[in-house]
A = this chain, B = another copy of it.
Amino acid sequence: MSTNPRFDPNFTPYVVNAMGPGTPERARVILGSLITHIHDFAREVELTPAEWMLGVEFINSIGKISTPIRNECHRICDVIGLESLVDEIANKIVTEKGESPTSNVILGPFWSPNAPFRALGDSIIQDPNPNGQVTYMHGVLTDMETASANGQYDFQDPNQSENNLRGKFRSNEKGEFYWYCYHPTPYSLPTDGPAGVLLNLMDRSPMRPAHIHLMITHPDYATVINQIYPSDDPHLDIDSVFAVKDDLVVDFKPKTDDPKATLDLNYPVTMALKKHHPNPNSAPPVSSFERAQQKL
């Protein structure tokens, strides 16, 4: 705890200890730590009433702009790196032998559970765009330890467009997957709300590098949720949501033997058995306040 002798050292423990005996134990741990850190922050910077009220109105503005399809607080958390950090805490897998599977990164606020199942080899492009560079994307799923193929995976590829460029695929018995998609395009976070205010205040770019979202599930293996980024994207070092990791940067190569595609992307995925995962049955974040509340 940051201790400035000007301030009452008993105040924060008094507030934390005001929690009653009916507080669930995990809530007591989380709220006790959160309240302590918020108090330490306020003392550390000697937060003024005007600055505090700025924060109050900023937080009020987050909920005001949010809707069932716009989760502004999720976005704010991405901008301050919190979703990336929570993802690291939940999903970091390193075995005693130092092996690690394909990295996880954040799910982001654009995921939709409604992506349709498609056949292997199909395209996720429903509404063709004349500027799009069609890519034949393919790879194989391997086990972190044995490097053998594993079949029967479900796939989700959520992308930022709402009714297009999404799909679920099931790999074949060799663990192979392949489909057509576009080379992705960099985009800006929406800046018309509190996230834009915060990014502007921090003199930061709202851009995200181009990316393809992937979610790979299997009954025996830890779910991989990640995003992959073209190696020539100029925003790799300034991703506004801190979700680039080295092993997620990929090379798109020219393809000349396929009339349906001009680019080729080979993306092998390494998975880890659930036993290696710190939270093997953790689901991706749910966005239902009520459901999560019941679990706490």
B-facing residues in A20-57 (Cβ within 8 Å): 20-24, 26-27, 29-31, 33-35, 37-54, 56-57
Seed contacts A23-B203, A48-B282, A59-B59; 9 additional CB < 8 Å A-B pairs: A20-B203, A34-B41, A37-B38, A47-B89, A52-B285, A56-B71, A56-B77, A57-B292, A60-B73
Q: How far is the CB of A271 from chain B (nearest CB, A)?
A: 19
Cβ of B53 and Cβ of A285 under 8 Å apart? Answer: yes
Chain A 1-33 per-residue mask, 1 if CB under 8 angstroms from chain B, else 0: 000001110011011001111111011011101
Q: In the complex, which residues of chain B have a beta carbon less than 8 angstroms from the beta carbon of A50? A: 282-283, 285-286, 292, 295
Q: In the complex, which residues of chain B have a beta carbon less than 8 angstroms from the beta carbon of A63? A: 59-66
Q: How far is the CB of A41 from chain B (nearest CB, A)?
A: 4
How many residues belonging to A are interface residues under a CB distance threshold of 8 Å? 88
Residue of A6, A11, A86, A283 with most chain B CB atoms under a 10 A cut-off:
A86
Q: Which chain B residue has the least Cβ–Cβ distance from A194?
A: B63
Cβ of B242 and Cβ of A15 under 8 Å apart? Answer: yes
**Is A120 close to B, CB under 8 A?**
no
**Is A201 close to B, CB under 8 A?**
yes
**Is A264 close to B, CB under 8 A?**
no
